[in-house]
Every structure is written in structure tokens, then in C-alpha cells.
A and B are shown apart, each in its own frame.
Chain A
Amino acid sequence: MEENQKSRFVVTEENWSLHRKGHQDQQRHLDKINEVLKSNLPDLISEENIILSNGKDMVKIPIRSLDEFKIRYNHEKSKHVGQGEGDSAVGDVVAQGEKKAQPGKGKEAGDQPGQDIYETEVSIEELEEMFFKELELPDLEQKEQSVTTIENIDFTDIRKKGLIGNIDKKRTLLSAIKRNAMNGKAEVAPILEDDLRFKTWNPVEKPQSKAVVIAMMDTSGSMGKFEKYMARSFFFWMTKFLRTKYETVEIEFIAHHTEAKVVSEENFFNKGESGGTRCSSAYSKALEVIKEFYPPTSYNIYPVHFSDGENMTSDNKKCLEHVDELLAISNMFGYAEVNEHRRMSTLMSAYKSIEHPKFNYYILQKNRDVYFALKKFFEKRTEGLR
């Protein structure tokens, strides 16, 4: 002990750069989060805080299965020990607890089982990416390439001649050093004219693609809050999806009962009217709008109709005619019926017989069906034909 005091400790510094365990397991955890998100996609798609997020980029999503569950004490119900600054008294507030949702107050309260949930922040973009991977535009017929092109400037090339304003300093210096090095000394000076390098651009031409969604909805008395919410989440994702495929996507809202009119988004989702239903009115309005503002030669047209299926029987024939007309000029026509009990509706019985590659229908029963409806309408097909 006394003779080799020095060898009693060792200081070392190894190269730790290959030690990646923490990062690997972190990645595994992130992968697990993504797995959970993916498997819950149908439920997440209709999450209220996403649909109503209004441009927020991140949403909080509770992921319960990724907590590390242990048998533990109830933190809220147990006592704890803390330390004051010398003047604490009984009744002093130490910390704010989380506000509990009032039990039994509305539907929402049931979804919040206290603070015990592992929440992860997910960007809507990430969700989109995950979701849209499963969707595709129906590749029906090639739209006529629209004439409008936009010009973009891309600096892609380096040349020896050019405008002095576009000089590439780094490359110029490098070539000067290289040339001087060949003559013996690797230094910047002198810079000869031959060393000059210029950035040069190429004009890029891209065809501009435009799409329009004709959102039609039955606003008669029979369409309640739930039905409208379904329509809302559907159109939310549909426009988002189309935006990834087209440069500009417009959306027109047509509300109808026995008559149809073009309304604002606000009115579309919030206003309810009473009265009977004549769906053909919406379709003729749609045809009118298309004729006036969205020539099919330059627009990709996506009419989608949300209804509960209750239509006047006498109107069905007219509807079929209009649907045919719309199909002729659209990329896809979608009919979504919100029908919780899957009863046979008058409109559905008429549409059952339509066999057209561009015609799609889906009956939505629950929140999560929005996901499946979208998947049906924008199905990924290996071949163009079904």
C-alpha cells in the first residue's frame, strides 16, 4: 500500500465514438412510437385536435402503450415531503396540480384518464406523410397538359465565363490555389482570369397543375353534428392530400337542401337548415360552378358529396343524370354517406347500379371510417384497372 501509492488510480480516455447504444435504443423507441401511430392511424385521422388545429404544426397525441408500467403509488393521492425557505406554514401552496376534467361533463371528459399518459408531439406533416403513403391519385386519364408554365431559376452549373455578379468566390480561390500549387507555391495570389468561376443558371419549366374540390353537403335537418364532423375531417384530409399532388388546390363549398348554393367554409360546416332534400340541386350547381370558373381542360376536378342518403325518390333519376355529366368531366366523383346504422337509403339504392371507374362510394358509420373512406377513394392500385 505504502510503496505504490501511484498505481492506485488510473485515468484513461478511450475513443467512444463507436459506442452507439444509447442512440440505437433511442431510435428503437422512436420506431415504436411510429408503429403505434401507424396502427392507430384510423383513429388519429379523425382526432379532433388535428382537424381543428388550424395550422398548428404540432399536435399532442397520447400514446399509452409506451409507458413503462410498474406497480407504483398514486402520486396525486399520496403525501410528499418538501423543503421551505424557513417560513413555510400549513396551507402554503407548493405547486399547481393539473386541472382535472370535470367528470361527467360532456363526451370529452371520458377521454382523459388523468395525467398518466405518455404524450408525444407529432407534427401534422409526419402524420400526413405516413397517411398519404397509403393513398394515390386514381390514374384514370391523362389530363391535357395545361399551357401555363412557371419559370424558375436554378443555379446548377459552373462556367469560366459569366457575369461578375455571379462569381463563385470559393471555387475561384480554389482553382487559383491549385494552379499556383502546380507552379510550386500553394497560395491564393495571383488570381488570373483563367481561374475565375461563375455560377450559371438554367431556367426550369414546370407545368402548373391545378385541382378543385367541389365539396357538396346535404345541410338538411337530418344532418347532425356528427355527420358534419365526419364531412369536415374528410375534406380536411382530402384537400391536404390533393395539395401534395397539385400545385394549387381550390375548394368550393356547395350546401344544399332542396336548393343549392355556394357558401363559405364557415357556413358549410356550421349552418343547418331544415327541409327536404333534393341532391340533384347540388349537382347542377356544381356543373354550373365548373362551367363558369373551372374549365376541365386546365383543372382536375374532384366533386365529393356528403349526405345521409335521404333523398326524394322522385329526384333520384335526375341525380343519376347529373352524376353522369359530372363523371364525364371529373377525375373522380365520390359519394360519402354518413349512415350510422347502415340502413338502405334512397340515394344509395340508386347509386348501387352505377358502374364507372371514376365513381366511388363509401358508407361511414364511425369516426375512424373517415380513414377508410379516403383510402377507398384514393386507393393505391397496382394496376390502373380495378
Chain B
Amino acid sequence: MRYEICPADILYTFGAYGMPTRFTHWSFGKQFHKMKLQYDIGLSKIYELVINSNPCYAFLLNTNSLIQNKLIIAHVLAHCDFFKNNIYFSKTRKDMVESMAATAERIVDYEVRYGKKCVETFLDAVLAIQEHVDPSMMRDIIPSPSIVRPPRRSAYEDLWDLDQRTIPGQQAIEMHQKNPKEPEKDILLFILENSRNLTEWQADILTMLREEMLYFWPQLETKIMNEGWASYWHQTILRQMDLTPSETIEFAKLNASVLQPSKTSINPYYLGVKMYEDIEKRYDILAKEASGRGEEAMTGREKIFEAREIENDTSFIRNYLTDDLIKQEDLYVFQKQEDQYKVSDKQTDAVRNQLIGQRVNGGFPYIVVDDGDYMRNGELYLIHRYEDTELDLLYLEHVLPHIHQLWGRIVHIETVLENKPLVFSYDGHKVFRRSK
């Protein structure tokens, strides 16, 4: 564990970039400006930032008081534990601090060689679809069905085969195999491997940014679990420490501000803590009952350690957010009705499903490449896997030109609007809409 004490504007820089060594881009500057402004006018404050690496880095604000730092260190140690032990992080690179520094350097080098503007425009395009990678843990395990050829029977076999190949119909079927064979979730990878429009340096940047997204991905998928775990432990540890009354008050204040629930969103810190506490309580009771019967069962503490190892947010909610807890915490579903946002559902199933739905794919719409040679014209056909939530069409229409820039040919995306399938296309000049 490495702790680094730094001033506010540095901490906010890291917060905006996600990593101290990340490459430079105006969008991070915009984010930094926004966060710093909120800090300057006292609206929000970041106390720390933890980085998933080996050794684990934690950056602490230099104005933190001693008791604040005690809480924060307990908090970041739990984050560190989570990074090291949660299964979804098992494949993340632990040398990403250095790797991102190298990426940043290479991007600067490209800027010098090809022009700042040129590189920036390309970064804009990649960042627009950066989340569309395939973080699946199984990706490398299940072999992709490659073309299986029967073993050769003789050295001249391919010559005999020439006769057979002249059957025209059969050949046509083989020639026009769809690419990708199965819908491809990793749009970045697909573009990288199939785009005819990328120069070497562009492919390099695309590769590096994809790598960065794969590194960040588990954090997007375990927000509630990770923050909940860290908050659970800072509470537990601080409550066991011998604090003076004034320290206790300061701790309680900070703790309350971190765990403040919200009417219009879910505070991952709060919900996470409540869920771990609930699991611990329920499994302690079960263990007690079991021991009464002379059996052995997991204690609550053991159970939460198990959960932090094998779950991510969606499975955590599905497996552990009980009806009782939803009622106890007064969770509800709300949506816009006319000009107001109103509570629309309090059924526990609806709440749970909505919460899971929001966390699927890190909260991003699920898009796949359906065809990289659409209309036999090298056009890119994407499909949005619609699950009852419509896309922001204005944004969609602005993203298409970015994808077009990467792909170099016409780009289509199919989605659903008001229960009707709809296709958006961009040909380099204009976005067209048509119903499918």
C-alpha cells in the first residue's frame, strides 16, 4: 500500500482522469473544471482516490484531519482488498499506472508527428464508443469456432479438390460468410481488426484505449459492492477504535455525509453498506440456528467475504437484496410523468429488476456488431439489444459520425423506438432514419 498526500487540484485532476498518468484530452479538462468548481464553492469534496495496482496506490487530500485520514485509510484498505480478491478484477493489469503513462507518452508523440488537432479528433471518436468492449471473463476461455479442415489424405489432395470447387452455388455460400459470425460485443476490437480506414498510429491508439477500458470495466460493474465494502469496513474499524468525543463527532459527520441516501438516485456507498450488514445479520442468525442443530454453517462475516469474492453488482443485487431490505430502505421506482418525476412503483420485484437493469453492462446500452459487410458493401451494421429503455436519439445521431470516422464507410445502428424497430444510418454527410 502506498499513500501519497497531495493538494486538492491534484486530487481532482486524478479524479477527472481516473488515473494520474492518463493521457491528456479536453474532456478530462472539462470534467476537472466541473469537479474543482464544486469543490471551490464547497458543494462536494473528494477525500481520497484509490488505484487498482500493485502496490495499491491511495491519494489523500492534504487538508484531511487526522481522524478523517483514519477513516479514509480504513476505507481505502478495503478498496484495495476488493481489487485484490474480487474475481472480476482477477484479470485486470496491475501495472496500469506505468502502462497508462506509456500510452500518454505515445499519444504525445503522435501529436508531435501528426498534429494535435488530428490526434484529438481521433481521440474524440474513440472516446465516444470506448465503453463498447467485451469484458467477459469467458472470452479467452471459449475458443472461437475456427474453420476446421479435415486432415489431408494425400499431397495432391488440393488438386483433386479443384474439380469439386467449381460447383457454383456451394461456393457462393462459403464465400459470403458473415463477419462476424456471431454478433460481436467488442465494437472497438471489431473495428480494430476489420476497419480499412485506420492508419498504424490510429490502430495503436485504439488498442491502448481499449486496454484502458478493460482495466476500468470491473470498477464500473462493482460500484455498489466496492464502495459498500469500503464503507462497511471503515465503519466497523472506526467503531472499534478508541476515539475522543470530538473525534467521534467528526467521524460521525464524515460518515453521514458519505452515506447520505438520495431521493433521486441510489447512493452506492449507502446501499452497499446496508446490504453487507443485512447479509451478515441474516447469516449469523442462520449459523446460530444451525449450530443449535449441531450443524456447521457459514457465519455472517464469512458470508460477506464470500460475496465480495464472487459477485458483481448485478448478481449481488439479484442474490442478496431481499424484499424486506427493499421495504426497510424504502426503495422505489420513479419516472417522468408530464413535468414531474414521480414514484411509479413500490413492488419489490419491480425495484430489484430496475436496479439490476440499471447496472447491466455497467449502465451502458448493449450494442453489438451484427455485420461488418452489410449490403456486401463493407458497411457496418450495429444492433442495440433493446430491453425496454430507449436510447437518447440526439446523442445517438452525434455518435454515428464518430463511428463512421473510425470505420470509413456507411454505419447503421438498429434500435427500438416506441416499440418499433428503427435504423439510423450515417453516410459521411447526413444521418438518415428509417423504420425497419
List residues of chain A with CB under 8 Å of any chain B CB: 8-14, 16, 19, 21-29, 32, 64, 66-100, 113-114, 116
Q: Are B343 and A96 in contact (CB under 8 A)?
A: no
Q: A29-B29, A68-B127, A90-B343 are in contact. Are A12 and B5 (CB under 8 A)?
A: yes
A256 to B17 Cα, complex, angstroms: 62
Tell me, yes or no, whether B253 is within 8 Å of chain A by CB. no
- Inter-chain contact B395/A22, CB cutoff 8 Å: no
A25-B24, A83-B331 known; A97 vs B339 contact (CB < 8 Å): yes
- Measured CA separation A28–B28 after assembly (Å): 10
Smallest beta-carbon distance A18→chain B, Å: 10
- The verdict on A28 contacting B26 (CB below 8 Å), with A11-B5, A81-B351 known, is yes
Picked from B4, B270, B344, the residue with its CB within 8 Å of the CB of A14 is B4
**B329 contacts the other chain (CB 8 A):** yes
Total interface residues on B, CB under 8 Å, equals 75
Give Cα A73 to B2, complex, Å. 38
Identify whether the interface residues of B are mostly helix, strand, loop, or mixed.
mixed
A–B pairs, 29, beta carbons within 8 Å: A8-B1, A12-B2, A13-B6, A22-B32, A25-B28, A25-B30, A28-B24, A28-B26, A29-B26, A29-B27, A32-B26, A68-B27, A69-B128, A71-B129, A71-B391, A71-B396, A73-B392, A74-B389, A78-B389, A79-B344, A79-B345, A81-B331, A81-B332, A81-B354, A81-B355, A83-B330, A92-B343, A96-B339, A97-B338
Asked if B13 is an interface residue, CB under 8 A from chain A, the answer is yes
**Selected interface stretch from B154-162, B261-269, B302-310:** B261-269
Residue of B nearest to A113 (CB): B394
Q: Given the known inter-chain contacts A91-B342, A116-B392, A116-B394, please indicate yes or no for A22 contacting B16, CB distance below 8 A.
A: yes
Contact, CB under 8 Å: A80 / B335: yes
Expressed in whole angstroms, the minimum distance between the Cβ of A76 and any Cβ of chain B is 5
B residues apposed to A, CB below 8 Å: 1-7, 9-10, 12-13, 16-17, 24-30, 32-33, 36, 55, 62, 127-129, 131-132, 261-267, 270-271, 329-336, 338-346, 351, 354-355, 358, 364-365, 367, 384, 389-396, 398-399, 402
Q: Let me know if B29 and A82 touch, CB within 8 A.
A: no
Once A81-B333, A90-B344, A97-B340 are accepted as A-B contacts, the answer to whether A28 and B29 lie under 8 Å apart by CB is yes
B179: min CB distance to chain A, Å: 22
Complex alpha-carbon distance, A71 and B354, angstroms: 20
Residues in B whose Cβ lies below 8 Å from that of A73? 365, 389-392
Q: Are A96 and B340 in contact (CB under 8 A)?
A: yes
Q: Which of B6, B263, B395 contacts A116, CB < 8 Å?
A: B395
- Counting chain B CB atoms within 10 Å of each CB, the highest count among A78, A80, A86, A95 belongs to A80
Please determine whether B3 and A83 come into contact, CB atoms closer than 8 angstroms.
no
Other than the known A79-B344, A92-B343, what 16 A-B pairs have Cβ atoms closer than 8 Å? Answer: A10-B1, A19-B10, A22-B28, A23-B29, A29-B27, A69-B395, A73-B389, A74-B391, A77-B389, A80-B333, A81-B332, A81-B355, A83-B331, A88-B346, A90-B346, A91-B343
Residues of B within 8 A of A93 (CB): 340-342
Q: A22-B32, A71-B364, A82-B331 known; A100 and B392 CB under 8 Å?
A: no
- Complex CA distance for A113 and B397, rounded to whole angstroms: 13
Known: A25-B25, A72-B365. A82 touches B391 (CB 8 A): no
Taking a contact as CB atoms under 8 Å apart, the answer to whether B391 and A79 are in contact is no
Given that A69-B399, A83-B329 are contacting pairs, would A92 and B28 also be in contact in the complex, using a CB cutoff of 8 Å?
Answer: no
Set of chain B residues within 8 Å of A85, measured between Cβ atoms: 330
**Which residues of B are found within 8 Å of A96, using beta-carbon distances?**
339-341
Cα-based distance from A64 to B7 in the complex (angstroms): 33
Least distance between B32 CB and chain A CB atoms (Å): 4
CB–CB A84/B32 < 8 A: no
Nearest neighbor of B350 in chain A, beta-carbon distance: A79
Is the Cβ of B262 less than 8 Å from the Cβ of A22?
no
| Contact for B13 among A21, A64, A82, CB less than 8 A | A21
Tell me if A79 and B3 are in contact (CB < 8 A): no
Chain A residue numbers with a CB within 8 Å of B267 are: 83
Question: Which B residues are CB-close (under 8 A) to A21?
Answer: 13, 17, 24
B339 touches A83 (CB 8 A): no
Complex: A90 Cα to B261 Cα, angstroms: 19
Bound Cα distance from A19 to B335, whole angstroms: 43
Among A12, A24, A67, A113, the residue within 8 A (CB) of B4 is A12
Which residues of the other chain, A, contact B266 by a CB distance below 8 angstroms?
Answer: 81-83
A99 to B338, CA, bound (A): 9
Tell me which residues across on chain B come within 8 A of A75, comparing CB atoms. 392
Contact A27 B398 (CB under 8 A): no
Task: Knowing A82-B264, A96-B339, say if A29 contacts B30 (CB, 8 Å).
Answer: yes
Given A80-B265, A94-B343, are A24 and B24 neighbors across the interface (CB < 8 Å)? Answer: yes
CA distance A307 to B432 in the complex (A): 42
Bound form: Cα–Cα A218–B261 in Å: 63
Shortest C-beta distance, A206 to chain B (Å), equals 40
| Assembly CA distance A94 to B264 (angstroms) | 7
CA distance A91 to B127 in the complex (A): 39
Q: Which residues of B have CB within 8 Å of A87? A: 330
Q: Judge whether B395 and A82 touch: CB under 8 Å.
A: no
Known contacts A73-B390, A94-B342, A96-B341; is-contact A19 B398 (Cβ 8 Å):
no
CB pair B364–A72 under 8 Å, yes or no, is yes
Which residues of chain B are within 8 angstroms of A76 by Cβ–Cβ distance?
336
Contact between A24 and B29 (Cβ–Cβ < 8 Å)?
A: yes
Q: Which one of A11, A19, A26, A74 lies within 8 Å of B29 (CB-CB)? A: A26
**B343 close to A89 (CB less than 8 A):** yes
Residue contact B334 to A79, C-beta cutoff 8 Å: yes
**Bound CA–CA A116/B394 (angstroms):** 8
Report the bound CA distance from A86 to B331 in whole Å. Answer: 9
Task: Check if A13 sits within 8 Å of B4, measured CB to CB.
Answer: yes
Q: Which residues of B contact A84 (CB under 8 A)?
A: 263, 330-332, 343
Contacts of A27 in B (CB 8 A): 29
Chain B residues whose CB sits within 8 angstroms of the CB of A66 once the complex forms: 30
Known: A80-B265, A82-B332. A10 touches B2 (CB 8 A): yes
